Structure 1
């Protein structure tokens, strides 16, 4: 029966308060309950905490585990509220007691319990439904250690778990949709070459049935050229390493190769499986090829523009030179017809000067194209700089102060000394032109260790180099000028004040010598140009001898010389020069005819041969054949174009020498005299 007002007024203080559950507990008839009247309860503080807390809390008290709870628990109770007040827990939660009883028993045995995500079927709305909770159950002990009850704190997580399950289901569905609809190829495969699971994209893209793909070793539909790459990737996977962005082509049903970019990851060690996904890059590959072709076309266009600039510059300079030569020859012809020979020397001198300019222009072009004939020797760069200093000071004039900085312990380099002197002089003249009001010019040498980064920056292999740097305090160069400075016929000087071939020649010479040249400049602060040449391990050649006087170049013993050249005019000039000097001269137009003479008993003191000869035998082959029967024969190669591969890039056998065309009379005569003297 319900308590009267007077009874309520006698309720203990811990049941006071305005909460719904406090009122209900005060109104409940506890006289027939195993707990007895509230004033007899030993847990008055716990009940007070229960009724005042905003956290979901409950008590299961006494031998029947009588059920008490607070206002926050009412929504959880559902239709069990308020009829569950004071009932045994086994009746309140009869539908779930088989799951809850072991937990309650553990707590009443003295064990505290905490669980998350605990799911149990509860009848809270007339039907049993799964509900999930995070909770803590704590035993309540009397002074003697006896467990009097269970104190529970809980949070219902049913809604959150439902959302998580829904999200998981959505993710699974999305995964399955991607697996089914993706254009990418997903697969599980074995290291021994079989696919064990694939998505539909395999069949859609390759036009092959899934059962065929799963029953056929994948090596049979991989492009044959990519099997090596595939094997290397599988070896990496077997070693437990993932491999990303490798390209392997697959063959479609009709044999068409399709390009894919793949990534592969091995499963756990020992499973023999790996996972892989491939992205079709056929269109990307085609686009990249189109881009390559477009870039190649652009390069070709730029190359043709450069050729046009080159040929224009050549036409301009050679027309001027030819005008000087042909004009001088026409005047000579006219004066001879008139019997006026007094002026002939002037015209001859003019024609010879123009011819020398033409030879110099040709050499610069060959230097730029790395095709000039080089005669490299072990060289001490410091000695070369010292020997050039007077010439450089005279060339740059008194307004320019010339300083040299020679590195101590400088390494030797293997280089054509004459060409390096020309290159250094060119750089010094450019430096002078950059200082119209005068300034300081510095020439310095140095040893350079180029590591990978420094070498790459200069376009060279890593290693040891000797540097020759020419710097000025002039106007400096803008970046766009530096970018074009080595182009042939490019010049910033006014018309008529430079051919634009000086730096081109330096650039080609450095490259042909297995080195490089670089420009370092800043507007208003000057420029430094450095040539880097490989170190040579050996001592430098020393040549302190003085040239013989001109009268000594004539033949003393009427030595016999064989001239081999396919150009009749060149042969005629060479023969006339040598005959006038007292030599016996034989001639041949090609290698085979010359070899017949060399294999005869005819005495020959010197072979002078062009390098590029017709009819299947070049000059180097002729010389080698001649030396089988004449091992001490001296050979002088003459060439207007440097077949460096034929001449072994300047590394000639002893007794072999080289000169460049056109032949200058006195220089040619002196070289012939020196070589015939070695035979005598």
Structure 2
């Protein structure tokens, strides 16, 4: 911080046009080492104040009847740091003894009255005090200017930091997306290879069975066996395709009403072979019937996927607990609103390593996995999430590192289905198209041709 060293900044402007007051005041100030400038009129006083000055010394008779509007205007337009000191030489004392002094106090503001006659030392003391106050004002101005300069620097620095932060965030997002895409492509490659291998196996069975069916004089028993093999293989291929579609959350679900408790007991027994002998599977479910309406096969697959994740988290040893609760409301999950409707809650709790807080928000993303390369595609929990959403429910997860994880699957609870009506509706009869016309629309020519042949065999007239 610097204070102006311009000698004019501390000069005293003297306005005393009558008598010897001006000359005497300048002589006393000069002898005391103070700069003084005599101005002949009020207008020149205002001009000198506008340029630069440390204080103003005026006589009362000069300003008693003068128009002080220009001076008052200049005083009102001073910057916030400035409060120009005025010294008025009067013959009647201060504001408490002179009406003119009271008026001048209102106009000039920072004013000191010095009654004549006065001792020279008194004048020098009053002027020195005024200049000392003016000097502090200059220091305040310097501090304000320094603060404004620092504020401008901080603004520039803040803009620079915001720009660099935005660039860094953008670069990081691009890098993360590139890494994520690379991981996805790696997983897709692994998944594609596995699917191709499975389909080749299925096609081998179908092709071999068809070749044997073309043989003449094939015994009926063997013909049925090969036809059953083709039918079973097609079912397996359809199931594999359904699982692939489930990964994309586009599978065509076949919902049905079933009792969750019985299904869960069957899965619990099967999980022993999935998890291994060192993992204890515990089922906690009441005997009260509890029904849901969803695709049973996908429901079982979802539970198996969660159990496999639990097994991997426990490194093949621990405790897996399955809990079933009915009449359960749906809590708020991942920012979604809660629901007061009745839901069935199926929870799987493991005693594994837990999930890091930073990974919890991403575990349901397709292809996201914390497992080593080759040990997981990141599609299992994504399939569970897609199944839950398409079934009108949701899935929640709570985890503590080092203690374990709980996945809770919520599905809408429904009333038991009318078994008799279902069985009656399930009765089949011989199909006879009776020559009715059917319009076949199919973008695959081979599938369309095969469908047309089947419809013709059933008595329809396809077009």
Report if aligned partners of 2:306, 2:407 keep a CA contact under 8 Å in 1: yes
CA distance in structure 2 between the aligned counterparts of 1:519 and 1:359, rounded to whole angstroms? 31
Judging changes above 3 Å, is the alpha-carbon distance between structure 1 residues 131 and 295 closer, same or farther for their aligned structure 2 residues? same
**1:103-150 alpha-carbon deviations (Å, 9 max, x no partner):** 79xxxxxxxxxxxx8734486656834728xxxxxxxxxxxxxxxxxx
Judging changes above 3 Å, is the alpha-carbon distance between structure 1 residues 297 and 347 closer, same or farther for their aligned structure 2 residues? farther
Which structure 2 segments of 5+ residues have no match?
A: 1-31, 33-87, 99-109
**1:144-190 alpha-carbon deviations (Å, 9 max, x no partner):** xxxxxxxxxxxx96576344322344467679x87xx9799xxxxxx
Report if aligned partners of 1:407, 1:444 keep a CA contact under 8 Å in 2: no
CA distance in structure 2 between the aligned counterparts of 1:338 and 1:464, rounded to whole angstroms? 63
CA distance in structure 2 between the aligned counterparts of 1:489 and 1:328, rounded to whole angstroms? 34
Report if aligned partners of 1:324, 1:354 keep a CA contact under 8 Å in 2: no
The answer to whether structure 1 residue 361 and structure 2 residue 240 are counterparts is yes
Query: Which of 424, 433, 440 matches 1:564?
Result: 440
SS in 1 for 2:337: coil
Paired position in structure 2 for 1:401: 282
SS in 2 for 1:519: strand
Paired position in structure 1 for 2:302: 423
Query: Which of 468, 471, 475 matches 2:348?
Result: 471
Judging changes above 3 Å, is the alpha-carbon distance between structure 1 residues 338 and 368 closer, same or farther for their aligned structure 2 residues? closer
SS in 2 for 1:570: helix
Query: Which of 444, 455, 480 matches 2:324?
Result: 444
Q: How does 1:363-512 map to 2 (within 5 A)?
A: 363-374=242-253, 384-397=259-272, 400-404=281-285, 419-428=298-307, 430-431=309-310, 436=316, 439-445=319-325, 447-448=328-329, 450=331, 454-455=332-333, 458-464=334-340, 466=343, 468-479=345-356, 483-484=362-363, 487-488=366-367, 490=369, 492=371, 501-512=379-390
**1:340-365 alpha-carbon deviations (Å, 9 max, x no partner):** 95777776666555543432333233
Q: CA RMSD in A?
A: 5.4
- Which one has the bigger strand percentage? 1
- By how many angstroms is 1:506 displaced? 0.5
Structure 1 or 2, whichever has the larger Rg, is 1
Judging changes above 3 Å, is the alpha-carbon distance between structure 1 residues 100 and 130 closer, same or farther for their aligned structure 2 residues? farther
SS in 2 for 1:99: coil
Query: Which of 152, 159, 166 matches 2:138?
Result: 166
Judging changes above 3 Å, is the alpha-carbon distance between structure 1 residues 555 and 344 closer, same or farther for their aligned structure 2 residues? closer
Report if aligned partners of 1:310, 1:489 keep a CA contact under 8 Å in 2: no
**1:2-53 alpha-carbon deviations (Å, 9 max, x no partner):** xxxxxxxxxxxxxxxxxxxxxxxxxxxxxxxxxxxxxxxxxxxxxxxxxxxx
Judging changes above 3 Å, is the alpha-carbon distance between structure 1 residues 548 and 294 closer, same or farther for their aligned structure 2 residues? same
- By how many angstroms is 1:529 displaced? 0.8
Judging changes above 3 Å, is the alpha-carbon distance between structure 1 residues 403 and 413 closer, same or farther for their aligned structure 2 residues? closer
SS in 2 for 1:128: helix
CA distance in structure 1 between the aligned counterparts of 2:320 and 2:366, rounded to whole angstroms? 27
Judging changes above 3 Å, is the alpha-carbon distance between structure 1 residues 285 and 475 closer, same or farther for their aligned structure 2 residues? closer
CA distance in structure 1 between the aligned counterparts of 2:437 and 2:235, rounded to whole angstroms? 26
CA distance in structure 2 between the aligned counterparts of 1:492 and 1:130, rounded to whole angstroms? 87
Report if aligned partners of 1:401, 1:440 keep a CA contact under 8 Å in 2: yes
CA distance in structure 2 between the aligned counterparts of 1:352 and 1:500, rounded to whole angstroms? 31
Paired position in structure 1 for 2:93: 99
- By how many angstroms is 1:316 displaced? 1.7
CA distance in structure 1 between the aligned counterparts of 2:376 and 2:195, rounded to whole angstroms? 14
Judging changes above 3 Å, is the alpha-carbon distance between structure 1 residues 402 and 554 closer, same or farther for their aligned structure 2 residues? same
Q: How does 1:654-673 map to 2 (within 5 A)?
A: none
Report if aligned partners of 1:367, 1:509 keep a CA contact under 8 Å in 2: yes
SS in 1 for 2:397: strand
Query: Which of 258, 279, 301 matches 2:178?
Result: 301
CA distance in structure 1 between the aligned counterparts of 2:129 and 2:344, rounded to whole angstroms? 78
Aligned residues: 348
The answer to whether structure 1 residue 317 and structure 2 residue 317 are counterparts is no
Judging changes above 3 Å, is the alpha-carbon distance between structure 1 residues 101 and 302 closer, same or farther for their aligned structure 2 residues? closer
Question: Which is bigger in relative contact order (C-alpha 8 A, separation at least 6)?
Answer: 2
**1:553-594 alpha-carbon deviations (Å, 9 max, x no partner):** 3425556573634133334554555666xx323334xxxxxx
Judging changes above 3 Å, is the alpha-carbon distance between structure 1 residues 556 and 544 closer, same or farther for their aligned structure 2 residues? same
Report if aligned partners of 2:355, 2:399 keep a CA contact under 8 Å in 1: yes
Report if aligned partners of 2:397, 2:408 keep a CA contact under 8 Å in 1: yes
**1:295-351 alpha-carbon deviations (Å, 9 max, x no partner):** 663464245324413421332222212221332345446657887957777766665
Report if aligned partners of 1:491, 1:499 keep a CA contact under 8 Å in 2: no
Query: Which of 92, 100, 112 matches 1:119?
Result: 112
SS in 2 for 1:460: coil
Question: TM-score if structure 2 supplies the norm length?
Answer: 0.55
- By how many angstroms is 1:402 displaced? 1.4
Report if aligned partners of 2:311, 2:317 keep a CA contact under 8 Å in 1: no
CA distance in structure 1 between the aligned counterparts of 2:229 and 2:187, rounded to whole angstroms? 26
Report if aligned partners of 1:364, 1:502 keep a CA contact under 8 Å in 2: no
- Which one has the bigger helix percentage? 2
CA distance in structure 1 between the aligned counterparts of 2:282 and 2:144, rounded to whole angstroms? 82
CA distance in structure 2 between the aligned counterparts of 1:333 and 1:281, rounded to whole angstroms? 75
Report if aligned partners of 1:322, 1:354 keep a CA contact under 8 Å in 2: no
- By how many angstroms is 1:545 displaced? 3.9
- By how many angstroms is 1:387 displaced? 3.7
Query: Which of 398, 406, 417 matches 1:520?
Result: 398
Report if aligned partners of 1:121, 1:129 keep a CA contact under 8 Å in 2: no
Report if aligned partners of 1:121, 1:130 keep a CA contact under 8 Å in 2: no
Q: How does 1:27-46 map to 2 (within 5 A)?
A: none
**1:632-653 alpha-carbon deviations (Å, 9 max, x no partner):** xxxxxxxxxxxxxxxxxxxxxx
Judging changes above 3 Å, is the alpha-carbon distance between structure 1 residues 358 and 306 closer, same or farther for their aligned structure 2 residues? farther
SS in 2 for 1:555: coil
Judging changes above 3 Å, is the alpha-carbon distance between structure 1 residues 396 and 433 closer, same or farther for their aligned structure 2 residues? farther
